[in-house]
Amino acid sequence: MLHQAERKGELADFLYRYTEGNPLFVVQVLQTLADEGVLWYGGKRWEWASVDALQLPPAVDDLLARRIARLAPSTTTTMTTAAVIGRAFEFDLLRRVTDLDEDALIDAIDEAITAGVLDSGTDRDGERFQFAHTLLANSLLRHANPRRVRRMHARVAEVLESERPEALTEIAVHYDAAGDEVRTFHFAMKSGDRAASVYALDDAIASYSIAVRRSPGSAERLQARLALIDVAHIAGHLDIASTTCDDARTDVDPDDSVAHVKVARRALQVQLLCARNLSELISDGRALLEQARAIDAVEDCIVILSSIADAHTRLSQRPESEHAARVATAEAERLDDQLLIADARLRLGAALLERAPQESLREFEVARARFAGIGNRHGIIRCLINCGIAHFRLGSSTESQQAYEEAQAEAEAASIPDLGGLTALNLGVLFQKTGNFDGAQLAHAYAERMFKKVRHEGRRLAAMYNSANLSLDQGDAVAALEMYERVYAMASELAIIDIEVGSIAGAGLAALSLGNVDQAQMSRRRASERSAELGTTWYQGRELVEALEVRYLLATDRVSKAADACDRALALTIDAGAALWMVAECAPLLVRSGATQYAATIRTAHERASAFGLRPLAARLAAALR
C-alpha cells in the first residue's frame, strides 16, 4: 500500500497501538490520519508521515466514553487507579493501593467486566486482570483530575517500594509520573544499573534517561548522563551518546576540570566509533591526556590512551598505535583494574594485527579471559570478532568463521545488535574473500539492518560499502556503480573520508568495466583530491584508488606509467589481502598490454591466494596464467 516500503511496518505498529486490530477503530484512525494530512494518496500509492500522538476520532472517543459511563462513580475511581497501574494489573496490588476490602474490589471488577471495560477472560484464577482495550485505560486517565492521578501514581510507587522493592523500573516510572524528583532519580539510577549489568541495554537507556530528566541537582545530572553515555555507547546508539555528551559539556561547570575530563574522554570514544576526523581526534586526545594527567585522573588517562591507539590503528599508523596501546596497558596493569587491562590488551592486539598477527591473537585471547573473569559480555564479543580477523590473517578461514559465529551467538544472546552487526560485517568480508557470495550478501544485509536499528550510521555505511565491493568482485559493474554512488553520498555527509575515497575509486573501476573512460578519469581526479587529506598511510579502500590509477593508465595506452604505478602501490601496501586483490585486478591487464614481467607476480600471488583459501582471487589469477 505504501510508497515507502521500509515504512509499512511503522504504520502497522502505529495502527495497532491505537486500535489493537479492532476494525471500527482501524477505519476511524485511518480516516483521522487522512483528515489531519499525515496520510495521503500520492498518485500511485499511499504515503504517510510519522506522528508522535493522535487525537482520537470522535466516533472512537464516544464509544469509549459510553462504556465508561456505565460504571458507578466509585467504580470509575477504582478503575482509574487500575489504569494508573497499567493496561494489566494484579488484584492484590490494586487492593493495597485503593485500601478497598476484598468484596468491594471484587464487586467493582465484576461491574467493569459487565460494562466491557475489563476483559472477562484475562485470568481464570482472579489474580490478574486487564482492560479490554488500552484506549479505555487511556480514556480514564485523560478524564481524571491530573492532581488526583499524580497522587495515585505516588501511592502505587509507595506500595511497590514497600512490597516489591525489586520492581525498580516500575517504582521509578510511577514516582516520575507523580512528580517526585528525588525518589524518581534514586530508583531510575538503580533500575538503569541493574539493566546494564544484565545487558538489557535499551531498558538501561530508558531508565538513565528518566534519571537525567529528574536529577535533583547538577552533580546527580552529571552522574546520570555519564551512565547514559556509557550504556548508549555499548549499545551502539551513537545518536543518544553524542547528544548526551553535547548536553553534558554545555552543563558542566567550566572550572570543574574533573567533570570536564570525564565528559570529554567519553566524547572522544563516541567520535572514535563514528570514525570521523581521526587525525583531529588524536590531536584532541593528546591535549585531553595532558589535562587528565594534571589532575591525576589515571583511569581517564588509560581510556584516552586506548582511544588514541585505536585511532592510530584505523589510520594504519602502526608504530604510534602500538606505542600508545603499550603505555595504556602498562598503566592499567599498575592500577590493577581488570576492565581497563582487558580493554588495553584488546587495543594492543589490534595495533599488532598487521605486523604480528600471532602475537595479536595472543593479546586477544588474554583480553578475552580478562573480560570473562569480570562477566563483561560486550568485551568478550569484541575479542571474538578480533580473533576472527587474526585467524584469517594467519591463513585459517575455518577458525576465523568459528570465532565470528561464536561472537554472533553471544551478541544475539546478550541482545547487542551493534556488535551482532559488526560480527556480520566481518563474516561477510570472510565469505566474500573465500567465494561464498550468497553468504556474503546475506551477512552484509543483516549487518546493515542491525546498524540501522541502533542508528549507527558509520557502521551502516561500512556495510553498504562492502556490498558495493561485493558487486564489483562479482562482475556486476552496473549494480556496483549505483551502490558506490549511494555510499559516496552518505560518506560525504558523515565526513568519513576513507570510505568516501574508496567509493569514488570503486565507481571509477566500475565505469572502466562498462567502457566509460571519461567517467573513470573524473573519478580518478576526485579520488586523488580527496585522498590528499589521508596522507601517505595505507587506509581502507586505498587498493581501489591504486587499482583505478593503474587501469586508467592502461585504458589510455600508458603501459610504462601503469607498470610504475602498480609497482609503487604493491611496495606501499601493508595489507597482504589488498596486495593480492591488486595483483588480480591489474597484473593480467598489464601482461596483456606487453608487461610480461608480471607473469611471475601472478604465479606468486596465485600460490598465496590458494594457500589462504581466497578462492575467487585464486580463480582469477589461475585464469590469467592460462
pLDDT digits (tens, 9 = 90+) for 308-330: 998 988 887 889 999 999 999 99
- Residues 395 and 430 reside in one and the same domain: yes
Q: Is 316 within the bounds of a domain? A: no
C-alpha span between 608 and 306 (Å, rounded): 34
Q: What is the CATH number of the domain that holds 74?
A: 1.10.10
Based on its alpha-carbon atoms, the radius of gyration of the chain, rounded to whole angstroms, reads 30
- Residues 139 and 102 reside in one and the same domain: yes
pLDDT digits (tens, 9 = 90+) for 91-126: 999 999 999 999 999 999 999 999 989 987 666 677
- Residues 470 and 539 reside in one and the same domain: yes
Q: How confident is the model at residue 454 (pLDDT cuts 50, 70, 90)?
A: confident
- Residues 543 and 477 reside in one and the same domain: yes
C-alpha span between 349 and 424 (Å, rounded): 21
How far, in whole angstroms, is CA 104 from its chain's centroid?
Answer: 51
pLDDT number for residue 5: 41
Q: Is 431 within the bounds of a domain? A: yes
Domain end position, chosen among 112, 144, 176 = 144
- Residues 471 and 519 reside in one and the same domain: yes
Q: Residue 57 above 70 pLDDT? A: no
Q: Residue 341 above 90 pLDDT? A: yes
- Residues 16 and 82 reside in one and the same domain: no
- Residues 423 and 510 reside in one and the same domain: no
pLDDT number for residue 61: 66
3-state secondary structure at position 412: helix
Q: What is the CATH number of the domain that holds 405?
A: 1.25.40.10
Q: Is 478 within the bounds of a domain? A: yes
Please say whether the beta carbons of 484 and 510 come within 8 A.
yes
Q: Residue 261 above 90 pLDDT? A: yes
Domain count, the chain: 5
C-alpha span between 616 and 530 (Å, rounded): 30
C-alpha cell at position 317: 599508523
Q: How confident is the model at residue 526 (pLDDT cuts 50, 70, 90)?
A: very high
Q: Is 368 within the bounds of a domain? A: no
Give the least confident one: 63-67, 426-430, 460-464. 63-67
Q: How many helices (H) and strands (E) does the chain have?
A: 32, 4
Q: Residue 586 above 80 pLDDT? A: yes
pLDDT digits (tens, 9 = 90+) for 456-492: 888 899 999 999 999 999 999 999 999 999 999 999 8
Q: Residue 355 above 90 pLDDT? A: no
Query: Is 429 or 493 the better-scoring residue by pLDDT?
Result: 429
pLDDT number for residue 6: 43
- Residues 618 and 561 reside in one and the same domain: yes
pLDDT number for residue 133: 83
Q: Is 424 within the bounds of a domain? A: yes
pLDDT number for residue 43: 67
C-alpha span between 394 and 400 (Å, rounded): 9
C-alpha cell at position 231: 550504556
Model confidence, pTM: 0.73
Q: Residue 7 above 50 pLDDT? A: no
Q: Stretch 528-540: mean pLDDT, rounded?
A: 83
- Residues 16 and 31 reside in one and the same domain: yes
- Residues 35 and 91 reside in one and the same domain: no
- Residues 79 and 116 reside in one and the same domain: yes
pLDDT number for residue 519: 96
Q: How many CA atoms lie less than 13 Å away from 428 in the CB half-sphere?
A: 25
Domain end position, chosen among 144, 173, 203 = 144
C-alpha span between 283 and 221 (Å, rounded): 29
Please say whether the beta carbons of 621 and 602 come within 8 A.
yes
Q: How confident is the model at residue 4 (pLDDT cuts 50, 70, 90)?
A: very low
Name the residue range of residue 525's domain. Answer: 456-556
The answer for residues whose C-beta is within 8 angstroms of residue 131's C-beta and 6 or more apart is 82, 83, 87, 88, 117, 118, 119, 137
Q: Is 581 within the bounds of a domain? A: yes
Q: Is 165 within the bounds of a domain? A: no
- Residues 464 and 540 reside in one and the same domain: yes
Domain end position, chosen among 392, 418, 449 = 449
Q: Is 564 within the bounds of a domain? A: yes
